Structure 1
């Protein structure tokens, strides 16, 4: 009897211990299952937050880099536009327009040559631009052949060109000048040199008469045409 009671007591104690052990394990298991997801979620959120911050910083950096590149690009484009404008000015060169400055005695060289054969009744004046810029040759040459006749030689209106005569660098213009009618009974006077003034300039240009003996001028019959880019048939015949 005593032995049986002792076994019963041992079995009861063992059962209680087992029950307590199982309860503890169940409690640990429940506690672990609850805390593990919580810890896992916290750890996961940190990389996500860091990732978001890093991503934002990267986007901002990329945007800043793009803006900086765009800004430099814009500056380069602007510089390119300026260069193009300058290049356009350089490639197009000087514009030849009626607004070019009036030619002065310092801009041109005036020479004279006889036209046709004897009797030499006409000469041709050539005014050549000796500068590197364009200038506008206005009106007609103001000519005085003789000291005894201080009046300018009259101009012929029909020889006036329709458009202003603009001379580019090195370009010539011409004016036909009548000396006489070529008659033997005319009151011609020998002229070895004469004066020319350009319209808008009071500087006197000394011109050497063509030929070794000079020219014979009848101051009453003398006429001059306007400056033209070329000598034109018909309009310059007078």
Structure 2
């Protein structure tokens, strides 16, 4: 896991490694048009995900360099109980800034590239730093009522808080980080957005659950 760079804006949804709610810690470790809630700022396009050695290109940001907002819903017809668990072979994971500087949040996008429906369990299990092996804790209020089932080509999103923003001696630079899909989905290495990466604070970071779209209230943290 490489390390190096900036900080991020406020915004929407999240996920992390091996637990179910905030404070849970466990081992383990998108269409990059990350959505924003109605009152949120546009997400600035960022990373690429590597899974099984393949690097997935993030879609180019539109307009002035910010990813175009807009919620995309991914599930139709397939029940969460019958859908197979999404693995890192089924989805491409990317990261983009949420909002403008100081960058306090990023949005993870997991896009189903498998050609069949699959289920994203819980939240992304994220490990930012080699020096902090615990997963980024999940925010309980962001948990959707049912697991996310992605049809072929559909995305899901998770908001991730990095820090409170600004220069801080506790912030550490990160240029790439790991995301593990719960339920045996495997681990992917995700490139951090920005030329110098992102700045994270282990005392402040948090992740939301995977959702079809970022939601006001549930994904504000």
Identify whether the pair has TM-score above 0.5, normalized to the shorter chain.
Answer: yes
Secondary structure, in 3 states, of the residue corresponding to 1:182?
Answer: coil
Secondary structure, in 3 states, of the residue corresponding to 1:204?
Answer: strand
Correspondence 1:164 to 2:147: yes
How far has the Cα of 1:184 moved from its partner?
2.9
Which residue of 204, 209, 212 maps to 1:221? Answer: 204
Over the aligned positions, Cα root-mean-square deviation in angstroms equals: 1.3
After superposition, what is the alpha-carbon deviation per residue over 1:96-123, rounded to whole angstroms, capped at 9, x for unaligned?
Answer: 1112111111110000000101110000
Partner of 2:31: none
Give the Cα–Cα distance (whole angstroms) in 2 for the partners of residues 95 and 230 of structure 1.
Answer: 18
After superposition, what is the alpha-carbon deviation per residue over 1:3-43, rounded to whole angstroms, capped at 9, x for unaligned?
Answer: xxxxxxxxxxxxxxxxxxxxxxxxxxxxxxxxxxxxxxxxx
Larger RCO, structure (CA 8 Å, separation 6 or more): 2
Partner of 2:135: 152
Correspondence 1:96 to 2:94: no
Give the Cα–Cα distance (whole angstroms) in 2 for the partners of residues 111 and 195 of structure 1.
Answer: 11
Indicate the structure with greater strand content: 2
Contact preservation (8 Å) 2:179, 2:188 = yes
Give the Cα–Cα distance (whole angstroms) in 2 for the partners of residues 203 and 167 of structure 1.
Answer: 17
After superposition, what is the alpha-carbon deviation per residue over 1:120-160, rounded to whole angstroms, capped at 9, x for unaligned?
Answer: 00000000000111001110000000000000000000000
Give the Cα–Cα distance (whole angstroms) in 1 for the partners of residues 158 and 169 of structure 2.
Answer: 24
Q: Which runs of 5+ in 2 are unaligned?
A: 1-75
Which residue of 104, 109, 116 maps to 2:99? Answer: 116
What TM-score, normalized by structure 1, do the two folds share? Answer: 0.59
Secondary structure, in 3 states, of the residue corresponding to 2:131?
Answer: coil
Q: Which runs of 5+ in 1 are unaligned?
A: 1-93
Which residue of 117, 122, 133 maps to 1:134? Answer: 117
Indicate the structure with greater helix content: 1
Contact preservation (8 Å) 1:105, 1:201 = no
